[in-house]
Structure formats: C-alpha cells, structure tokens
Amino acid sequence: MSIIDQFDLTGRVAIVTGGTRGIGLAIADGLAAAGATVVPTSRTASDVEAARKRVESHGVESLAILTDVTDDGDIESLFERTANTFGGIDIVVNNAGVNPSAALGCPEDVDSEGYDVTLDVNLRGAFRCTQEAAPYLNESDKGSLINIASVGGVVGLPRQHPYVASKHGLVGMTKSIALDWAPEVRANVIAPGYVATDLTTELRENDKLRQSIINRTPLDRFADPEELAGPVVFLASDAASYVTGTCLTVDGGWTSK
Ligand code: NDP
C-alpha cells in the first residue's frame, strides 16, 4: 500500500463526541476529508445538524444524533443507531470535554458540583463511550480508539485540578485499554496544548494570560483547531498500524520547555 493510501479512511465509520464545535468539529471534518463516514455529536441540535452538513460536504455519509455523554441512554442509542445505519463502527474519538468555572481554583475554592461535572463529562463520559464502542471496534479489523486529553493530562496546571485529574485519568485509562484490547484494537490519546476555541475564549481575551501562554509556547502561538485533525487522521489510519498506547502531545512544544 502506498504511503498516501495508508491515510485513506474510505469505508470506515467514525463517531466524534463533541464533534460540533472547536477541535471536535475540525476532527470530524478531517476524518470526512480522508473518506470516512462521520457521526459528529453533542447536546445542541442546531450544531449537530450543521456539523452533519459539513461532513456531508465531503461527499461522505453522516447522521445527526444528539448525545449528552453524561447520559447512559443517549450513549447506548448513539452507538446502536450508528452501527445499525452504517453496518459497524471503526473509529471512536472521545473528544467532548468541559472545564467549568465552578471547577477552577485551588482545592479549597472548588465547588464540588464543578468537580463532579468535569469528571463526569471528561472521564466517565469517555469511559462509557468506550464501553459501548467495544463490541463494534472489536468486530472491525481496523478498530481505533482516540481520546482527546490535554497537556493537563501530562503535567499539572495551576488552579485547574479537577480538569487535570480528569485528563490524567483519561491518559491512564487509554494506556490500560491499549493493553486490554491489543492486538485487535488500537487505543491512543492526544494531549493538545492551547487551542483557539470557545474553551479558551476567556484566556485569549485576557491580554496578560494570552501573552504568558504564547511566551511559554516555543511555536509562539495558540493552535488552530484544524491542527488537531491531522494527528487524529494519522492515529485512525493504517499509517499508525503499529501505534498503540501512545500519548501524542500536540502542543507547539509547550511541555518540552
Ligand atoms: P469546545 O468548548 O469548543 O467544544 C466542546 C465540545 O464538546 C462541543 O461540541 C460541546 O457541545 C461538546 N460537549 C460538551 N459537553 C458535552 C456533553 N456533556 N455531552 C456531549 N458533548 C458535550 O472545546 P474544545 O474544542 O476546545 O475542546 C475539545 C476537547 O479538547 C476537550 O476534551 C478539551 O478538554 C480538549 N482540549 C482543549 C484544549 C483547548 O485549548 N481548547 C486544550 C487541550 C485539550 P455542546 O456544549 O453543544 O454539547
């Protein structure tokens, strides 16, 4: 197979949670451009519909399915409907994530509700989707699980311990799943640095904070969401056929400094 063909995802079916905005939408778009059928999902009907249209603009199929990853019934129905419609599932990207203000601060400041929501979406949501994905990915001969963590899954970040706990958990969970599922299914995790999305609007609007992040980043800028699509397409594809259990940092050099 030529190196170009190794990146071709034609015939594969992908689910991207939180695939309707920011990084997730860019990932859904990238997977569709590489030929995959993609189901981008989230809790907002208008965004899900817009993302479906964006995927279909690449000439591949899609479905609009509303899913809250904290709702077990929603998750079951997402996987069942996708598999029933397209005959299987080959790629799952657990991307949905939050970092609510109620979970920001030192441990003594953090609201326990903010802590619960962060863990519920970022870690338990990914775990439940992974559980539902298991039979389908096992049935596929190209099964690939990709979790979106953060540099906060690799190092500590001040005043964000619930988010950091959830993302460290996601990195560890992915490495364990890679062992449990080998050699049939590959499982990898990506740790993005600072990306220009809704999640970082407040950071980017604060001149001092924005500049301190840029100064700390060897590539001197925030990432565009589209810069996460290539790494995901790679990990989903045959080009990564010997890659499992890896945490790939995509952070402009942030964790190397
Ligand atoms: P955005 O806030 O731009 O998008 C988050 C997406 O997740 C939206 O589609 C949102 O849709 C969806 N979502 C949130 N909660 C739920 C839920 N309970 N169920 C289903 N979908 C949900 O965030 P980003 O694109 O920036 O982040 C994407 C991922 O990348 C997250 O896991 C984040 O932690 C991670 N990340 C982001 C970084 C950054 O700098 N931006 C850096 C490192 C990691 P809706 O609200 O409509 O449900």
Q: What is the pLDDT of residues 204-257, one digit of tens each?
A: 999 999 999 999 999 999 999 999 999 999 999 999 999 999 999 999 999 999
* pLDDT in the model for residue 47: 98
Query: What is the SS3 assignment for 240?
Result: helix
**Mean pLDDT confidence for 22-40:** 98
> Closest ligand 1 atom, CA of 225?
25
Question: pTM above the 0.90 mark?
Answer: yes
Cis omega (within 30 of 0) for bond into 231: no
Name, in order, each residue with C-beta under 8 angstroms of 35's C-beta and a sequence gap of 6 or more. Answer: 8, 9, 10, 11, 12, 60
Pick the catalytic residue from 115, 136, 163, 194: 163
Write the residue with the smallest CA distance to atom 8 of ligand 1. 18
Kindly list the structural domains of the chain, giving each domain's residue range(s) and its CATH number in brackets, ordered by start: 7-248 (3.40.50.720)
CA of 226 to the centre of ligand 1 (A): 14
CA of 241 to the centre of ligand 1 (A): 27
Write the residue with the smallest CA distance to atom 9 of ligand 1. 18
Across 209-248, b (16+ Cβ under 10 Å) vs e yields ebeebeeebeeeebbebebbbebbbbbbbebbeebbbebb
Q: What is the pLDDT of residues 106-138, one digit of tens each?
A: 999 999 999 999 999 999 999 999 999 999 999
CA of 20 to the centre of ligand 1 (A): 9
Residue 115 is a catalytic residue: no
pLDDT grade for 195, boundaries at 50, 70 and 90: very high
What is the ipTM, given to two decimal places?
0.99
Write the residue with the smallest CA distance to atom 43 of ligand 1. 150
